[in-house]
Amino acid sequence: MMQSTPFNFRRVFLWICRIVLAAVFLYAGSAKLLGWGLHLHPSIESTKLSLLYFALQVDSYQLLPPWAVQFVAHTLPLAEIAIGLLLLIGWLLPLWTTLVTLLIAGFFATVVRAYLLHLDINCGCFAKPEPLTGLTVLRDGALLLIAVLMTVFAFQESRRPHPWSASKSDQPV
Amino acid sequence: MIRRPLSGFATIVVFVALSGTLLAALPAQKSQTKKTAFAAGSSSQAKSAEAAPSVTTISVGGVNDIDPAKAFGSKNAPVVMEVYSDFQCPACKTLFTSTTQKVMDNYVNSGKVFLIHRDFPLPMHAYSRVAASYSRAAAHIGKCDEVEQALFRNQEKWEMTGDVVGTVAAALSPAEMKRVQALVDAKIFEPLIEKDKQMGQIVPVNQTPYTVLHTKSGQTFPVVGFVSYDVLKTFLDQLVAQK
């Protein structure tokens, strides 16, 4: 008979982190790809327009040359959607959580730089006009903290067998 | 052996439920935003009517309250570009010298973009309002470009000394400067600067430079801060090519 999984705070926290970050990444990627903040009618043309509009927001950080701005603007939304789905599926979790943490750390560093340089720009995080403020920095910092904890817990969980998949000899008596 | 039979599936179910709730809340939020914008627009228009400027404004491509002396290009252009700027803001200077000038040369002069310069002097800048007044007066004697160039290019000098008048005078002939000074003293165009500020507050502009791109189909794209010409060019090409 199948046993119920014993309550494990670390596993529950890992689940919550996965769902929260997956939701954030899926929303961010879809918003940029489909131009949700711009109220565009869904079409290939509007997707192209939406990505070019996102390029303007990437460019406002004054960090990359124009070709790199276009590359980031056209690949980041798809990468965000892919990462969101991989976090939900849970396959090779330590790998994807590490990647998510690195990505969020990159976002955080970029946002902190823009904030310290007093660049009065839009965050561009969710493809809608959203001024980059101290709250944006705090939000990205909180997401980074969640991502770091999720990665640590994902590695710890990957080292010990799941109660459902462990053989009887592995289980504590 | 059973290997985590439901974890992935359950996660997806929970996520779909969360997304559904989020999406269901979106239309209500959107309509509320529209209502707020409409209400703000009505009250601002009433205030503008009270101000009763002596100079008439025009409407192009659904954009109202445009001072024709501070707007350039064909009124039938497929894209209308509004630039809210402050003469004392460094990012506005960079946008003007490296991007807006190129947009003027390649898009405005070819009839693809109708460009509107909006004054949005920020309260934290001591001389930006004075600079806006001189620029506006100069625009009304046909010297908009010369004075805007002089003000932006010499921004570091006059913002230290406050010598806006000297900077403007250096870009004009004595006769032109006399006319500009008379217009500034008469405060004829102050309501137009106020109107630009009111328009900006409706957008809402909370920092400069702030660019709003409008298309014929009614789409609007706000762009905050500096943007390089190459990246803006790709976006403008796409907007112009839109049917």
Lowest mean pLDDT among A119-128, B92-101, B211-220: A119-128
Mean pLDDT (chain B) is 79
Q: What is the pLDDT of residue B61?
A: 80
Which residues in chain A have their CB less than 8 angstroms from residue B1's CB? 165, 167
Mean pLDDT (chain A) is 85
Dist. CA A90–CA A76, nearest whole Å: 21
Q: pLDDT tier at A161 (50, 70, 90 boundaries)?
A: low
Q: What is the pLDDT of residue A7?
A: 67
Q: What is the pLDDT of residue B154?
A: 92
Average pLDDT over residues B16-44: 39
Which residue in chain A is spatially nearest to B23 when comparing CA positions?
A27
Q: What is the pLDDT of residue B31?
A: 37
Lowest mean pLDDT among A89-98, A161-170, B21-30, B88-97: B21-30
Dist. CA B164–CA B154, nearest whole Å: 10
Q: What is the pLDDT of residues B180-199, one digit of tens each?
A: 999 999 888 888 999 999 98
Q: What is the pLDDT of residue A34?
A: 85
Which residues in chain B have their CB less than 8 angstroms from residue A63's CB? none
Shortest distance, CA B193 to any CA of chain A (angstroms): 22
Is B224 within 8 Å of A89 when comparing Cβ atoms? no
Buried b / exposed e over B65-102, threshold 16 CB at 10 Å, is bbbebbbbbeeebbbbbbbbbbbbbebbbbbbeebbbb
Q: pLDDT tier at A162 (50, 70, 90 boundaries)?
A: low
Dist. CA B54–CA B116, nearest whole Å: 20
Residue in the structure block whose two tokens are 């949700």: A36
Which residues in chain B have their CB less than 8 angstroms from residue A119's CB? 91, 225-226
Q: pLDDT tier at A27 (50, 70, 90 boundaries)?
A: very high
B204 preceded by cis ω (within 30°)?
yes
- Residue B240 has a CB neighbour count (10 Å cut-off) of 16
In chain A, which among 17-56 make CB contacts under 8 A with chain B? 18-19, 22-23, 26-27, 36, 38-40, 45, 48-49, 52-53, 55-56
Dist. CA B16–CA A113, nearest whole Å: 35
| In contact, A130 and A54? CB cutoff 8 Å | no
Is residue B13 pLDDT above 50, yes or no? no
Shortest distance, CA B242 to any CA of chain A (angstroms): 8
Q: What is the pLDDT of residues A116-158, one digit of tens each?
A: 988 878 888 887 777 888 999 999 999 999 999 999 999 988 8
Q: What is the pLDDT of residues A34-55, one digit of tens each?
A: 877 676 777 788 888 899 999 9
Q: pLDDT tier at A80 (50, 70, 90 boundaries)?
A: very high
Give percent above pLDDT 90 in chain A: 53
Shortest distance, CA A88 to any CA of chain B (angstroms): 6
In chain A, which among 67-96 make CB contacts under 8 A with chain B? 69-70, 88-91
Q: What is the pLDDT of residue B67?
A: 87
Average pLDDT over residues B164-178: 91
Q: What is the pLDDT of residue A126?
A: 85
B55: Cβ contacts below 8 Å, ≥ 6 apart: B67, B140, B188, B189, B192
Is A19 within 8 Å of B235 when comparing Cβ atoms? no
Give this complex's ipTM: 0.78
Q: What is the pLDDT of residue A51?
A: 92
Q: What is the pLDDT of residue B204?
A: 87
